[in-house]
Structure formats: structure tokens, C-alpha cells
Homo-oligomer: A and B are copies of this chain.
Amino acid sequence: MVKLAVDLMGSDNGPEAIAAGIKEFLKKHSDVEIYACGSEEALSLLKDEKHIHSFVTSQVVPMESGAMQAMRMKDSSMMKVFNLFAEENVQAGVSAGSTGGFLSLATLKLKLIPGVERAALTSPFPTLNGSPLVVLDIGASNENNPQQLYQFAKMGRIYSQTVFNVKEPNTYLLSNGVEEGKGSPVGKEAYKLLKEHNFPGFKGNIEAREALKGDADVLVSEGYPGNIFLKSSEGVAKMMSALIKKAFHKNIFTMIGYLFSAGGFKDMKKSMDYKSYGGAILLGVNGVVVKAHGNSDAYSFSCALEVAYKMTSHDIVNKIKEGFQNEL
């Protein structure tokens, strides 16, 4: 049995979307137990489901709260999710609530894997040739040192191998140019570290626009520019989707055009489906931790649960532990 703890509260679309996502997910999996945390009202949304364990909590960590606030709320649904790792041996925690709160609680309650300096928020990105690009850190840290980037490369490699079956992942540093001398001060030092240690599959620097072509499997970045990369990619994707819609709505001819070409655009939508990735994973802590988008609908929250399920089944935490044993 896979045991997943789920925070029903704190998302933009309310417990209804989260509960609907759980139901969708449970239709496909009979080997899962859901440990649901939230208000009585929220929990009542799941009362007809099997495989649910309910935990009533009285507090909700607000969307924009920081670490301190999240730590102080001892009876929050989010806190309960992390307490359940020790209390009920759950293997994974999923929330669509406050990112700041969730990341701090994950690190504080689950602790970093021995040898790991800093956890990294990680997400696969869609690419032109269809192969997913694992990007980390996309925003757990605001500042990183070169050693941390080296470790991100290591965790990204394990993730790409384990979850996407890439035997020898091509690993790059996100940079503002391809030459060795390019990059932020921290990035330049990380380049030297990766080169000196003959990091397997390390291919050097890459610019964001090249990385999205699909030859790269792992893209390593400091948290701040990594977050900019994530948000600008999402922004342009959203903008262009809106423009495509507008293009087809221009007049009666373009609308007829849509009827003919819809098949092709469904494929495109699938290629660009950020939602299907279900959110971001925090790598480097003693447990599977998935942060779903704050505005998750039922579908994307069910995808986040799929990610947690997949990561648990692939035993990613132990694989990272093994990988970092020689760091001690």
C-alpha cells in the first residue's frame, strides 16, 4: 500500500477541487491509502470514498504566509500532513496551499537527507521533441552556493534516471551563454566543480531557449533565476495560448478553420500540458513532497497525486540517500 497524506485546505479553488482530484485519482489506483487533513466540512466531501483516513484540523496556513507563520500554526492541515510521516508512516505529502509554508514545513519536519545541503524544488518541463526536461532549483532557495548546484545536478540526474528512465542524462547549467566563462558568479564556480569531478553526462552551459529543444535532460540553476525561467516560460505559454484562441475567434472563416484543425491543436495542447506534471517536487528531504499549483483544478491535483504516487513507487528518496552516502 502506498500512503499519501493530502492537505485539503489553503488552495485557491477550495477543498472542492482538491477532493474532486482525490476522487479522480482513486478511480485509477486501488493500492493507495489517502490520509486527508482538513476541516470537518472539507473532509465530509470525501465521506463516500474508500481508502480515506480523515484527520480533522482547525487551522489553515494562508497562501502568502512565510516559514514562521506556518511553524506557529500547530493545528494546521499542512502541519498535520508532515506530522503523519512520523505518526502513520505516510510516504508522501501533497498540498496546493502556500508554497513558502509548505517548503519550510517540509524541510523542518522531514529534515534534509544526510549529505544534502539544500533541498531543490524540481519540475519537468515540456520540450519541443517531447522528452521532459528536469529543471531544478525553480525557487526553493533565493541564493545558492556552487556546492549546492553540484548537488542539484546529482539529484536531477537521479530523478531523470529513476522517473523518466533516461540512462545517461545530459546535464547542463542554465546560463546566459554556452562558453565556460559565462554565467552568474555562482554558476561559474559550479561549472568548475562539475568539470573537475567529471560529473557524468555534464555537457556545460546552455541558454534557456536551447534547453527547451529537448536535448537536455537535466537543467541546473540557482533558485532565483530558475524561478524566473519557470515563470517566464509559463507566461509566454499562457500568452500564446490566448493568442491562438483569439486567432480562431477572429471571424467565421477562422472558426471554420478551427473545426478542421482542432485535431492538430489537441496534440499541441497535450505537448504543452504543464498541468499534467502536477506541480513541483521538493527533492532532498526524507520523504516525497509534491507542491501542486495553488490554482489546481481537479485534473491537475489528480496529476499531482500521480506524481507523488510515481515518486513513491520509484523509491526516489532512498535512491537519493544512496547517491549521497559518499558525501558524508
B-contacting 9-mer, from A45-53, A73-81, A257-265: A257-265
* Contact call A234/B209, Cβ cutoff below 8 A: yes
User: Counting CB contacts under 8 A, is A184 at the interface?
Assistant: yes
Interface range for A: 35 or more
Query: CB distance B257 to A184 under 8 Å?
Result: no
Q: Knowing that A232-B236, A256-B260, A257-B264 touch, tell me 18 more A-B residue pairs with CB under 8 angstroms.
A: A142-B184, A143-B184, A176-B223, A208-B234, A209-B235, A212-B232, A212-B236, A224-B225, A225-B225, A236-B236, A243-B272, A249-B264, A250-B267, A251-B263, A253-B260, A254-B260, A254-B261, A257-B259
Determine if B228 and A176 form an interchain contact, defined as CB atoms under 8 angstroms apart: yes
A176-B139, A263-B251, A264-B250 given; A240·B209 CB < 8 A = no
Residues of B within 8 A of A143 (CB): 184-185
Q: Does A164 contact B (CB under 8 A)?
A: no
Task: Give the chain B neighbours of A57 by CB distance below 8 A.
Answer: none
Q: Are A248 and B261 in contact (CB under 8 A)?
A: yes
Contact B260 A264 (CB under 8 A): no
The yes or no answer to A1 lying at the interface (CB within 8 A) is no
Give, as a whole number of angstroms, the nearest-CB distance from A300 to chain B.
Answer: 16
Given contacts A225-B224, A234-B209, contact A254 B263 (CB under 8 A): yes
**Does residue A128 face the partner (Cβ distance < 8 Å to B)?**
yes
Report the separation of the CA atoms of residues A179 and B64 in the bound assembly, to the nearest whole angstrom: 8
- A and B contact pairs by CB, cutoff 8 A, 29 listed: A66-B181, A128-B242, A142-B185, A176-B224, A208-B232, A208-B235, A210-B235, A212-B238, A225-B228, A228-B228, A229-B232, A232-B232, A232-B233, A233-B233, A236-B237, A236-B240, A237-B240, A240-B240, A240-B268, A243-B272, A246-B264, A246-B268, A247-B267, A248-B264, A249-B264, A250-B267, A253-B260, A257-B257, A261-B261
**Contact status B232-A261, CB under 8 Å:** no
Task: State A263–B253 Cα separation when bound (angstroms).
Answer: 9
Given A247-B265, A256-B260, A264-B254, answer yes or no on A209-B227 (Cβ-Cβ < 8 Å). no
B residues in contact with A37, CB < 8 Å:
none
Question: A207 near B: Cβ within 8 Å?
Answer: yes
Question: Which residues from B are CB-within-8-Å of A238?
Answer: 209, 212
**A223: chain B residues within 8 A (beta carbon):** 176
Residue in B239, B257, B258, B262 whose beta carbon sits within 8 Å of that of A127 in the complex:
B239
CA–CA, A22 to B281, complex, Å? 51
Q: How far is the CB of A224 from chain B (nearest CB, A)?
A: 5
Q: Which of A174, A231, A249 has the most CB of B within 10 A?
A: A231
